[in-house]
Structures are given as C-alpha cells and as structure tokens.
Amino acid sequence: MQADLKELDAAGIAVIGISYDSVEVLAKFAAKSKITFPLLSDPDTKAIKAYGLLNKEAGAKIQGVPYPGTMVLDRDGVIRAKLFLEGYRDRHPTKELIEAGKKVK
C-alpha cells in the first residue's frame, strides 16, 4: 500500500495499519520498510477484537493475531467493506480498494 499511497490519498482513502505488535516493533518495521502511514499498536487486541478480526486459529500459537486483510471504514468508524485474502502477505490491488472506498461515500 505504501507504493500506492499517493493514489489512495487522491481517492480520499487514508491508510492505517493495526497490529498486536508493540510500538517499538512497529517503529522498527516502519523505518526498515519505509512505511509513512500510521501503524497502530494494539498489544491488548482491544481494537482487533472489537472489529471481529481476532484469528482464533493462529491465537493458539501467538496470542492476539488478527486475520490479515483490509477493511474500509467510513468517517464514523463503521465498517463498510471487508477485503480478505488467504495469505497474510497478500493485499488487494489499489484499484479494488479505491472501488470499495467509492461505495462508502
């Protein structure tokens, strides 16, 4: 998503990542990967659980792991679209995110 951040921003889509990792771990990851969008630390998985993203299958191995994917929220924080793929490294193409974002407006 970082590579297409300007295109997403032009479409009115703000990108924010959330992880159970600590602030320190996320800061190192962001620096190494040159991530400029916000990465939110949710070590107690409160937000992950609130949005129904807790991966109970992976949770037996690592506590607090969310299902990997992308959610589109409106300005009030209401989920308008959930986009998930099998692999945790895979993400939907920017075009699909922009289309999902258009449906929210």
Measured in degrees and rounded to the nearest 5, phi and psi for residue 72 equal -110, 120
| pTM of the predicted model as reported, rounded to 2 decimal places | 0.73
DSSP 58: H
Give the confidence band of 87 by pLDDT, cuts at 50, 70, 90: low
Architecture of domain 2-104: 3-Layer(aba) Sandwich (3.40)
Among 64, 70, 73, 100, residue whose Cα is nearest residue 85: 70
Mean predicted confidence (pLDDT) in 50-77? 72
pLDDT at 60 over 60: no
Instruction: Name, in order, each residue with C-beta under 8 angstroms of 9's C-beta and a sequence gap of 6 or more.
Output: none
CA distances from 64 to 6, 34, 48, 82, 85 (A): 31, 25, 8, 19, 19
pLDDT for 70 equals: 81
Mean predicted confidence (pLDDT) in 72-98? 75
The C-alpha atoms of residue 61 and residue 57 are separated, in whole angstroms, by 8
Q: What is the domain partition of the chain in residue ranges?
A: 2-104
DSSP 37: S
